[in-house]
Structure 1
Amino acid sequence: MIEKILLAVSGLGHAEEMLKTFADLPAAKRAKITVLHVVPGQTTAESMTAKWEEGGKILANAIQYLNLDPSRVSSILRQGEPKDVVCQVADEIEADLIIMGSRGLKRLQSILSNSVSQYVFQLSSRPMLLVKDDIYVKKINRVMVAIDSSDSAKHCLKLALFLMQDLKGAELFLANVNTDWMGKSNKPDFNPADNPVLAAAAAEAKKYGVPVRCVSSSGTSGQEGIATTSGRAGQEICRLAEENNIDLLLMGSPDRRPSIAKSFVDLDRLLGASLSDYVRVNATCPVLLARTEAA
C-alpha cells in the first residue's frame, strides 16, 4: 500500500527524523524513498550557484542521516517554487505518501507566510505525514485513528492496519468524538459496543489481530474558546491523542470540491474551518492526513 515515499527536506532535520522512524515499520521496509530538496529562484547567478551547492549538501546530509539501503533511496535537487515542485514531484513518482516538516502555522498566518506544507496539504490528493517543528518524534507504537462514519476515516483505518502489521507491542486507539454521547466521555463503564462507529472499526481491527482500545468523547468540556463544531471536535481529538501518549495520529481529510475546482485552494481549510486543519495545527504528535475525494 505504501511503496513510494517522497521526503521533502529543508535542512532542519524534522522530516528526516520522521522518515527514519517510519522506515523502521515492518510494513515500510521495502518502500522506495525519494528525497527532494527545492532551490528557490535567485536574482543573481552567484546566489543561484551558492543555493545549488547548499541544496546538494542538504540532500547529502539527509541521505547520510537516514542510513538506508542505497538501492531504496534516490535524490532530486530541483529549482522552482517549493510548494509547486513538491506537488509536481509527488505526481511524477506517483508517491503513496509525502513526508514533510510543518511550522504549524494557524489559519491565515500560513497563507501570509507562504507555508509550503499548507499549500501542499490544500492541493495534493496524496496522503501526507506532517511533522511540526516543536514536537518530539518517537518510535511508533501507539497509533490513533480519528473514527467517524466517513469514507476517509475508513480509509485511514485501513492505512493504520497496514502500517501496524507485524509491529510488535503496538496498540491501536480508535477515537470518536460524538456530541450525542453526553456524559459518557472516557468513563470507566464506557462500552464501545454501544457506539456503532467504534464497534465496527474495532471489529475490523481485530480481524488483523491488532490490539485495540476505544476512546470516545462528547466534546463538551473545556471548549468555551472554540466557536466552530470542527474546532470543538478537533480540540477533543488533540486532547485524546495527548492524554494517551500517541506516537502517530491518522485522520481523514475529505476533498469536498468538485473536480473542476481541484486546482483551487479549499477556503474552508485555509480559514481554519476544517477539522483536519485544526488537528494539523494543534496536535502534539505527527499527523498523517489521508484524503478520499468526493464525487
Structure 2
Amino acid sequence: MIEKILLAVSGLGHAEKMLKTLADVPSIQRSKVTVLHVVPHLSSAEAMTTKWEEGGKILANAIQYLNLDPSKVSSILRQGDPKRVVCEVADEIDADLIIMGSRGLKRLQSILSNSVSQYVFQLSSRPMLLVKDDIYVKTVKRVMVAMDNSDAAKRCLSLALFLLRDIKGGELILANVSTDLRGKESQITEISPEKNPILAAAYAEAKKYGVPARCFISSGKPGEEICRLADERKIDLLLLGSPDRRPSIAKNLVDIDRLLGSSLSDYVRVNATCPVLLARTVD
C-alpha cells in the first residue's frame, strides 16, 4: 500500500511531473502527499532570507502544478542539509514512497557531487522513485519488475500490483535475467510462466489481482539486460529490488564500498530510459 508519499522538490521538474502522472492512478488517488523543499544553511542572514522566500515560491508552484485535493496535500519548508532532511521527514511522516529527481550521475560522480538522491537511497529503507532529468515521463500503463528470489523483488512486485490493479489497459512485465558476466547478450525471449519457477510465482500473484502479465527471460550482465528489456518493451515504470547493504554498525554513514563497487541498482538508475522505483526489504 502507498498511503503516504514524500515529494522532494528543488524547483519545477520531472519529480513533480511523475507525481502528477501517478495521481491519475486510482490506487494513488487515496494517498496523502507531503511536498518538501529544503533550504540549505548559508552564511549570511540576507542570503538565508532570500532562500526562504525562494523556497516558499517553489513549494507554492509545485502544489499549484500538482492540482491535488487540498485535503490530501501538505507542504514542509525546512532548513538544513537536504540529504539528511529528506531522510528525517520521510521517517517523521512514515512515508511509503519517496519521489525525487535525479541527475543520473554515475557512482563516483554521485559521491563527488554530494548527490542527494544517492545519499537518501543509501540510508533509507523506504521505496524510492527516481526520475532523471533526461527522460520523458509517460502515463503509467506498462510496468516492469525485475524478478529474482529476493524479498526486495517480492516487495517490488507487491508495489507494482498495487499500482496496476486499477489501471485500465495496464500490463505487468515480469523479467528474469540469468547472469553471464562475459557480456554476451542473449535474445530477450517471452516464455510461458510455468517454464521459470521465479516468474511462475510472480505470475500467479498477478493473476490473483486480475493484472495481465507477460514473462520474459534473457542472460548477460544483469544491469544492461534489465535496461535493454525496459527499453525494448517501452516500459513506463521499472521496479527493481536492492539488497540492504548499509553498514550494520554505522547506519548513518554512506556505504562507500557499495558506492564504489559494482551495484546493479546504481547501473539501472543511471542508464534506464524510464523512471526507476528502487525498493529494499522491510527493516
Both proteins in one fold, TM over 0.5: yes
Counterpart Cα distance in 1 of 2:45 and 2:224: 48
Cα contact 1:174–1:214 (8 A) shared by 2: yes
Letter in 2 for 1:186: I
Counterpart Cα distance in 1 of 2:26 and 2:20: 12
Greater shift in the superposed pair: 113-122 or 194-203? 194-203
User: Is it true that 1:255 corresponds to 2:244 in the alignment?
Assistant: yes
SS at 1:265 equivalent:
coil
Return the offset for 1:266.
2.2
**Residue 203 (structure 2) aligns with:** 202
Return the offset for 1:268.
4.4
**Residue 77 (structure 2) aligns with:** 77
Aligned 1:72-111 pairs, distance under 5 A: 72-111=72-111
TM-score when scaled to structure 1?
Answer: 0.91
User: Is it true that 1:174 corresponds to 2:174 in the alignment?
Assistant: yes
Letter in 2 for 1:273: S
Q: Using a 3 Å threshold, how does the CA distance of structure 1 residues 183 and 193 change in structure 2: closer, same or farther?
A: farther
Q: Deviations over 1:121-151 (max 9, x none)?
A: 1101111000000000000000000001111
Q: State the identity %.
A: 78
**Residue 194 (structure 2) aligns with:** 193
Cα contact 2:178–2:218 (8 A) shared by 1: yes
Return the offset for 1:272.
4.8
**Residue 223 (structure 1) aligns with:** none
Counterpart Cα distance in 2 of 1:268 and 1:213: 36
**Residue 213 (structure 1) aligns with:** 214
Return the offset for 1:287.
0.4
**Residue 157 (structure 1) aligns with:** 157
User: Is it true that 1:241 corresponds to 2:230 in the alignment?
Assistant: yes
Return the offset for 1:166.
1.3
Counterpart Cα distance in 2 of 1:123 and 1:101: 17
Cα contact 2:5–2:31 (8 A) shared by 1: yes
Q: Which runs of 5+ in 2 are unaligned?
A: none
Counterpart Cα distance in 1 of 2:152 and 2:123: 16
Counterpart Cα distance in 1 of 2:195 and 2:189: 13
Return the offset for 1:258.
5.5
Return the offset for 1:108.
0.8
Letter in 2 for 1:198: L
Greater shift in the superposed pair: 233-242 or 15-24? 15-24
Q: Deviations over 1:216-240 (max 9, x none)?
A: 1012xxxxxxxxxxxx210100000
User: Is it true that 1:136 corresponds to 2:136 in the alignment?
Assistant: yes
SS at 1:59 equivalent:
helix
Counterpart Cα distance in 2 of 1:101 and 1:272: 23
TM-score when scaled to structure 2?
Answer: 0.95
Counterpart Cα distance in 1 of 2:64 and 2:89: 22
Return the offset for 1:184.
6.9
Q: Which runs of 5+ in 1 are unaligned?
A: 220-231
**Residue 222 (structure 1) aligns with:** none
Return the offset for 1:19.
0.7
Cα contact 2:6–2:95 (8 A) shared by 1: yes
Aligned 1:214-293 pairs, distance under 5 A: 214-219=215-220, 232-257=221-246, 259-292=248-281
SS at 1:83 equivalent:
helix
Cα contact 2:131–2:276 (8 A) shared by 1: yes
SS at 2:59 equivalent:
helix
